[in-house]
């Protein structure tokens, strides 16, 4: 026991040192950038990997706070509120990836902000950029009556394992991972790079594994990699896959750099073969890396709840109970969902929620992928107290997960890529539906999602009724517009459907669009026909013709040139998107990167992080080789391409031969398991190569 405690204390101390180094490095890089010593593109890549994202407004940053599967304790919530008040505006935004974002932060203060968050074990690391992003999971994981087992510990372990891993820092594009608690797949695993759904075979816990999904401008449904993979093998599979993606993934064309394009290009079978060949190099060891035990609320045993006894005969209260309160799998407990319009709430509300957690001895709250809040471990006798407190906080709106629970990204409020407004239109739509279709407030079979552009941060591609920002040119100018999409959603067990584009209409006509669609569905759907079944029966052209009169531009009213919530005439002002990262090909910058990777490799070796040392050394070799290729006018698209092209065009000039290839030397990392002996040999060989590459170019 003592040796375990000592090892644990060493791990904690090592982590603290790495965090402190991260924060100090960010401060140093900010200073160097301001002194003109670091190019803008390189600095952007560095800060994105540390959760610092440039806003639409010049001179301020959006900070993304990374919360695995949306879990937050009362102490962490207070810390986030304190940080928002001190460094930002006091507003908190829940994202569709269960993160928290704060806005209008000074770049100079971001290291200090990060240090404050880490006091309660909250990180910004890899919240943006070409990294392994936040790991999401069903908000009901651990309390779902239909789950085979709780996926939370696995999501936690995946999050912690991949944090700061060198092979996940500078990918071609981001990696997104999701765990669903059961086959209803409410975490939408089918649009993730990696998706996991629980399975049990012969008493062994495991997962159905999906790969290569994604939304964005070109949505892809994920492939099934395994119908069953033992739980102990999911991290090795993810790690090997990311290493292959890092090596073979596109680097030049950002729009083709997601994992979904690599799998589409080479095929799933070829991709899985490469992954299997990479597993020797995987550092995860299921015998040594035990499953992290996530601290859970100690649910005592109570009698089951008669849900009907929760109602009081008060129409407003009872509707809230029907739509926002659900029984947990633990008898005698309830989960309460707090509907948060647009996912926006404020620090006074956050502190009150933290107090509520402590006062009622609730274990935690979770932010959900539809931008709401969940309280768990609630006893029936606490329900009225919670309702009363939420009412004071103006967070008592019914209709969680229903038609009026609209998902929307920040869009043109803060995002560089936003084309037309997504937030004000969402609020107008919610108000319109509540006022005109009160019976549909409890309708959970139709979802509305809105994005400010086609990149789908608001997940419009998953909606039954979706919209994304656009524009329309007329003789008199440019109109803010929304593209209408219909028929998206989950179909269960890792399968789903992407919403189809129907028609583009001026933004100001969107209430009429929704009215026509809802009226048509309510009048003509058959019996228990779902919205998507109705859409399939009617087909896309039917809805195009239904909505076509609203796209007519013969008579455009002056107010239609104003976007929702705006007083100035609309104009498109799309900046450079940052969430996907940047591509840098300058020779000097690449050699600088190679030097940084080499220093990181030596440091990792001295700290006995041998697998990390190997990958940093590999990356140093790749960067240096790429620099020489670009210097000679040779285009570089992938790391594997760099290795092949260097062998073909420059190998002989730098002392390599057909029996002594540069690529064979560099790729030793995927042939041998990491160890001190192998790492020492490999670093020595790479050091000699780097010396050659840096000393001279090809004459």
- Given this model, what pLDDT does residue 583 score? 42
Non-local (6+) Cβ contacts of 545 within 8 A are none
Whole-number Å distance between alpha carbons of 485 and 470 = 13
CATH T-level fold of 307-392: Sulfite Reductase Hemoprotein; domain 2 (3.90.480)
Tell me: the pLDDT tens digits for 293-313?
A: 565 667 888 899 999 999 999
Whole-number Å distance between alpha carbons of 397 and 441 = 10
Domain borders along the chain are 2-281, 307-392, 407-561, 587-695
Whole-number Å distance between alpha carbons of 221 and 189 = 9
- Given this model, what pLDDT does residue 575 score? 53
Tell me: the pLDDT tens digits for 345-398?
A: 999 999 999 999 999 999 899 999 999 999 999 999 999 999 999 999 999 999
Residues in the chain: 699
Please, are residues 536 and 528 in contact by the beta-carbon 8 Å criterion? Answer: no
Burial class of 145 by CB neighbour count within 10 A (0 to 12, 13 to 18, 19+) = exposed
Phi and psi, residue 56, nearest 5°: -65, -35
SS3 of the chain: helix, strand, coil, percent, to 5 = 45, 20, 35
Of the two residues 680 and 585, the one the predictor is more confident about is 680
Question: Mean pLDDT throughout 325-353?
Answer: 97
Q: Is the dihedral of CA 151, 52, 463, 370 positive or negative?
A: positive
- Residue 7 pLDDT > 70, yes or no? no
Least reliable range by pLDDT among 10-19, 213-222, 585-594, 680-689? 10-19
- Given this model, what pLDDT does residue 293 score? 58
Q: Measured in whole angstroms, how far is the alpha carbon of residue 226 from the centre of its chain? A: 23
Please, are residues 470 and 506 in contact by the beta-carbon 8 Å criterion? Answer: no
Whole-number Å distance between alpha carbons of 672 and 692 = 25
Question: Mean pLDDT throughout 461-469?
Answer: 96
- Given this model, what pLDDT does residue 265 score? 96
Tell me: the pLDDT tens digits for 620-636?
A: 999 999 999 999 989 88
Least reliable range by pLDDT among 250-254, 423-427, 637-641? 250-254
pLDDT mean across residues, the chain: 92
Tell me: the pLDDT tens digits for 251-294?
A: 888 789 999 999 999 999 999 999 999 999 998 877 766 665 56
Note the CATH number of domain 587-695: 1.20.120.330
**Cα separations (Å) of 607 from 48, 594, 610, 668, 673?**
26, 20, 8, 21, 18
- Residue 489 pLDDT > 60, yes or no? yes
Provide the pLDDT confidence category of residue 574 given band limits of 50, 70 and 90: low
- Superfamily for the 2-281 domain: Sulfite Reductase Hemoprotein, domain 1 (3.30.413.10)
CATH topology of 2-281 equal to that of 407-561?
A: yes
- Residue 460 pLDDT > 70, yes or no? yes
- Given this model, what pLDDT does residue 123 score? 95
Phi and psi, residue 101, nearest 5°: -115, 140
- Residue 5 pLDDT > 50, yes or no? no
- Residue 577 pLDDT > 60, yes or no? no
Domain covering 407-561: architecture: 2-Layer Sandwich (3.30)
- Given this model, what pLDDT does residue 584 score? 44
- Residue 112 pLDDT > 50, yes or no? yes
Q: Give the side-chain half-sphere CA count within 13 A for 294.
A: 22
pTM recorded for the entire structure: 0.93
Provide the pLDDT confidence category of residue 500 given band limits of 50, 70 and 90: very high
Starting from the edge strand earliest in sequence, which strands make up the sheet with 175-179, in order? 132-137, 175-179, 194-201, 204-211, 223-230
Which of 537, 517, 496 has the alpha carbon at shortest distance from 190? Answer: 496
**Cα separations (Å) of 9 from 2, 13, 16, 279?**
10, 6, 11, 30
Residue appearing with tokens 């947990």:
328
Please, are residues 135 and 95 in contact by the beta-carbon 8 Å criterion? Answer: no
Q: What percent of the chain has pLDDT over 70?
A: 94
* E strand or H helix at 206: strand 204-211
Tell me: the pLDDT tens digits for 11-41?
A: 667 677 888 988 998 999 999 999 998 888 7
Please, are residues 416 and 54 in contact by the beta-carbon 8 Å criterion? Answer: yes
């Amino acid at each position: 026991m003592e040796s375990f405690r000592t090892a644990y204390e060493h791990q904690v101390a090592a982590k603290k040192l790495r965090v402190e180094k991260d924060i100090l490095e960010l401060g140093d890089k900010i200073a160097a950038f301001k002194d003109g010593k670091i190019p803008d593109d390189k600095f952007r890549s560095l800060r994105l990997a540390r959760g610092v994202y440039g806003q639409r407004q010049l001179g301020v940053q959006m900070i993304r706070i990374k919360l695995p599967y949306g879990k937050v304790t009362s102490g962490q919530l207070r810390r986030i509120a304190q940080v928002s008040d001190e460094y930002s505006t006091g507003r908190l935004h829940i994202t569709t990836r269960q993160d928290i974002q704060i806005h209008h932060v000074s770049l100079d203060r971001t290291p200090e902000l990060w240090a404050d968050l880490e006091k309660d074990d909250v990180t910004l690391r890899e919240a943006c950029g070409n990294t392994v992003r936040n790991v999401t999971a069903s908000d009901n994981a651990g309390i779902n009556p239909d789950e085979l087992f709780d996926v939370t510990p696995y999501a936690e372990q995946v999050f912690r394992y991949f944090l700061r891993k060198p092979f996940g820092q500078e990918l071609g594009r981001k990696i997104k991972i999701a765990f669903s608690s059961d086959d209803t797949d409410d975490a939408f695993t089918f649009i993730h790079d990696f998706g996991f759904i629980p399975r049990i075979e012969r008493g062994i816990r495991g997962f159905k594994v999906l790969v290569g999904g994604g939304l964005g401008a070109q949505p892809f449904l994920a492939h099934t990699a395994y119908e069953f993979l033992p739980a102990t093998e999911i991290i090795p599979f993810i790690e090997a896959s990311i290493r292959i993606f890092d090596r073979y993934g596109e680097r030049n064309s950002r729009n083709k750099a997601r994992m979904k394009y690599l799998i589409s290009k080479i095929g799933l079978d070829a991709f899985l073969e490469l992954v299997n060949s990479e597993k020797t190099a995987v550092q995860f060891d299921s015998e040594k890396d035990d499953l992290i035990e996530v601290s859970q609320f100690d649910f005592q045993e109570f009698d089951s709840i008669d849900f009907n006894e929760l109602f009081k005969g008060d129409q407003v209260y009872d509707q809230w109970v029907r739509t926002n309160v659900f029984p947990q799998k633990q008898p005698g407990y309830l989960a309460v969902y707090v509907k948060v319009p647009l996912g926006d709430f404020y620090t006074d509300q956050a502190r009150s929620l933290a107090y509520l957690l402590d006062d009622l001895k609730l274990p935690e709250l979770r932010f959900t992928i539809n931008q709401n809040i969940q309280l768990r471990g609630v006893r029936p006798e606490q329900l009225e107290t919670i309702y009363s407190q939420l009412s004071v906080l103006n967070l008592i709106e019914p209709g969680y997960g229903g038609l009026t629970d609209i998902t929307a990204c920040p869009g043109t409020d803060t995002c560089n890529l936003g084309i037309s407004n997504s937030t004000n239109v969402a609020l107008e739509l919610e108000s319109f539906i509540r006022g005109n279709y009160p019976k549909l407030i409890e309708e959970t079979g139709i979802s509305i999602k809105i994005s400010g552009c086609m990149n789908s941060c608001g997940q419009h591609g998953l909606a039954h009724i979706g919209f994304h920002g656009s524009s329309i040119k007329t003789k008199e100018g440019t109109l803010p517009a929304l593209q209408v999409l219909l028929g998206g959603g989950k179909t269960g067990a890792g399968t789903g459907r992407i919403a189809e584009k129907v028609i583009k209409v001026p933004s100001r006509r969107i209430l009429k669009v929704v009215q026509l669609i809802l009226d048509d569905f309510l009048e003509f759907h058959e019996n228990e026909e779902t919205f998507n079944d109705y859409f399939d029966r009617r087909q896309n052209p039917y809805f195009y013709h239904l909505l076509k009169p609203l796209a007519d531009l013969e008579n455009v009213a002056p107010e239609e040139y104003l976007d929702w919530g705006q007083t100035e005439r609309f104009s498109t002002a799309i900046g450079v998107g940052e969430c996907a990262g940047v591509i840098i090909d300058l020779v000097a910058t690449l050699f600088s990167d190679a030097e940084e990777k080499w220093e990181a490799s030596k440091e990792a070796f001295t700290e006995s992080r041998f697998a990390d040392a190997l990958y940093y050394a590999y990356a140093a070799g790749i960067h240096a080789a790429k620099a020489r290729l670009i210097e000679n006018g040779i285009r570089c698209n992938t790391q594997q391409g760099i290795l092949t092209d260097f062998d073909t065009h420059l190998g002989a000039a730098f002392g390599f031969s057909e029996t002594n290839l540069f690529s064979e030397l560099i790729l030793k990392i995927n042939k041998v398991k990491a160890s001190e002996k192998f790492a020492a040999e490999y670093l020595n060989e790479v050091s000699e190569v780097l010396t050659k590459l840096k000393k001279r170019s090809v004459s």
